[in-house]
């Protein structure tokens, strides 16, 4: 009888094969009367997580994280673009600082 790790490996391999063929994965997990449905779509680059008990839907994609209630109204919307812009600004400032230090050191020896 296979142990839990072997079962997970077999399950992971079958999911990986399905994902490579279709570009989509649909997982349903039922535990203690709570049902969780996970849909992964490679084409639209999204992951939908739906807990059937409370009706909320979490959508994670390239644009950000969106949480919708059972009526379809957006509860939380976290866009990733401002986070990327801030990170690039910090990185640009750091590189500019390194450039200025190198320029100061080089000009000191001339």
Compute the distance between CA of residue 58 and CA of residue 47 in angstroms, rounded to an integer: 8
Q: Within this chain, do residues 87 and 74 fall inside the same structural domain, yes or no?
A: no
Task: Give residue 110's domain range.
Answer: 80-110
Compute the distance between CA of residue 107 and CA of residue 7 in angstroms, rounded to an integer: 64
For the chain, the domain total comes to 2
30 within a domain of the structure (yes/no): yes
31 within a domain of the structure (yes/no): yes
Quote the pTM value. 0.51
Q: Within this chain, do residues 44 and 66 fall inside the same structural domain, yes or no?
A: yes
Q: Within this chain, do residues 57 and 72 fall inside the same structural domain, yes or no?
A: yes
Per-residue pLDDT of the chain (110 residues), as tens digits, is: 455 555 555 667 777 777 777 877 777 777 776 777 777 877 777 777 776 656 677 777 777 888 777 776 777 777 888 888 999 999 999 999 999 999 999 999 87
Q: Within this chain, do residues 67 and 44 fall inside the same structural domain, yes or no?
A: yes
Q: Within this chain, do residues 61 and 92 fall inside the same structural domain, yes or no?
A: no
pLDDT of 106: 94
């Amino acid at each position: 009888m296979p142990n839990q790790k072997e079962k997970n490996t077999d399950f992971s391999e079958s999911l990986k094969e399905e994902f490579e063929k279709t570009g989509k994965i649909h997982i349903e997990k039922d535990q203690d009367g709570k049902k969780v449905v996970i849909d992964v779509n490679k084409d639209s680059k999204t992951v939908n997580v739906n807990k059937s008990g409370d009706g909320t839907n979490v959508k994670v994609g390239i644009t950000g994280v969106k949480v919708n209630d059972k009526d379809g109204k957006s509860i939380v919307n976290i866009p990733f673009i401002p986070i990327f812009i801030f990170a690039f600004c910090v990185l640009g400032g750091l590189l500019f600082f390194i450039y200025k230090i190198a320029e100061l050191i080089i000009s000191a020896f001339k």
